Chains A and B, each alone.
Chain A
Amino acid sequence: MSMRLHRWGRITGLAVLSLAAVPAMAGLGGDLSSVQADRADMKAQIRATPATVGYSVEQMQLPGGTVVSEYVSPDGKVFAVSWHGPSKPDLRDALGSYFQQYVTARGQVIHSPGMRRHFQITEPDLVVESSGRMRAFYGRAYVPSLLPPNVSVADIQ
Chain B
Amino acid sequence: MRQLTILSVAMGTVAAVALGVSACGGGGGGGGTTSTSTSTSTSANVVTAEVDGGPAALSNPAVNTLYVTVTVCAPGSTSNCQQIPDVQVDTGSYGLRIIGSVLNASLASTLPAETSNGTALAECAQWADGWSWGPLYTADLQIASQSAGQMESASSVPVQVIGASGYSTVPTDCMNTGPNGLEDTVATFGANGIIGVGPFVPDCGPGCATSPGIQATYYTCPTASTCTDVVSGSGANTVYVTVPTSEQVSNPIAFFASDNNGVIIELPSVPSSGSATVTGTLVFGIGTESNNTLGNATVFNASPDYGTITTVFNGSTLNGSYFDTGSNGLFFADSSLTPCSASQKGFYCPTSTQSFSATIEPCTSSNSSMLDCTITSSTTMTEDFSVADAATLNGANTAFSDLAGALPPSSNSPFTGVFDWGLPFFYGQNVYVAIACADDSGVSNCATGAPFFAVSAQ
Contact = CB atoms under 8 A, between A and B. Distances in A.
A86 B371 CA distance: 13
B200 A84 contact: no
B214 A130 contact: no
A98 B158 CA distance: 36
Which of A63, A82, A84 has the most B CB atoms < 10 Å from its CB?
Answer: A63
B-side interface size class: 35 or more
B213 to A, nearest CB: 7
Interface of B: 5, 7-14, 17, 19, 54, 59-60, 62-65, 88, 90, 92-94, 125-130, 173, 176-180, 182-183, 187-191, 196, 198, 200, 203-205, 207-208, 210, 212-217, 235-238, 240, 306-308, 320, 322, 324, 326-329, 331, 343, 345-346, 368-369, 371, 405, 407-415, 418, 420, 422
A39 B93 contact: no
A122 to B, nearest CB: 6
A63 B198 contact: no
A110 B418 CA distance: 25
Contacts of A114: 7, 9, 63-65, 326-329, 422
Given A113-B189, A115-B7, 6 more contacts: A10-B369, A84-B413, A110-B7, A112-B62, A112-B63, A118-B420
14 contacts: A22-B235, A67-B413, A86-B207, A86-B214, A87-B216, A90-B176, A106-B182, A111-B187, A113-B191, A115-B129, A121-B11, A122-B345, A131-B331, A135-B307
A109 B11 contact: yes
Contacts, number: 234
A28 B99 CA distance: 34
Interface in A116-157: 116-124, 129-140, 153-154, 156-157
A96 to B, nearest CB: 12
Contact of B212 (A11, A13, A43): A43
A50 to B, nearest CB: 15
Nearest to B93: A134
Contact of A63 (B7, B129, B213): B213
A61 to B, nearest CB: 10
A62 B128 contact: no
Given A110-B60, A156-B410, A133 B198 contact: yes
Interface in A8-25: 10-13, 21-22
B198 A119 contact: no
A60 to B, nearest CB: 11
A54 interface: no
Contacts of B410: 82, 140, 154, 156-157
Contacts of A93: 176
Contacts of A86: 204-205, 207, 214
Nearest to B405: A118
Nearest to A23: B236
Contacts of A88: 126, 177-178
B198 A130 contact: no
Contacts of A110: 5, 7-8, 17, 19, 59-60, 343
Contacts of A22: 235-236
Interface of A: 7, 10-13, 21-22, 39-41, 43-44, 62-65, 67, 82, 84, 86-93, 99, 102-103, 105-124, 129-140, 153-154, 156-157
A119 B409 contact: no
Contacts of B413: 67, 84, 157
Contacts of B236: 21-22, 40, 43-44
Contacts of B180: 103, 107
Pick the 10 closest A-B CB pairs, nearest first. Answer: A112-B7, A64-B207, A114-B328, A133-B92, A120-B10, A119-B129, A106-B179, A113-B190, A22-B236, A40-B235
B435 to A, nearest CB: 13
Contacts of A63: 207, 212-215, 240
A133 B19 CA distance: 27
A132 B297 CA distance: 27
Nearest to A45: B236
A12 B369 contact: yes
A90 B244 CA distance: 23
Nearest to A156: B410
A133 B93 contact: yes
A122 B175 CA distance: 21
Nearest to A63: B212
Contacts of B9: 112, 114-115, 118-120
Given A40-B236, A111-B190, A157-B412, A106 B215 contact: no
Contacts of A129: 408
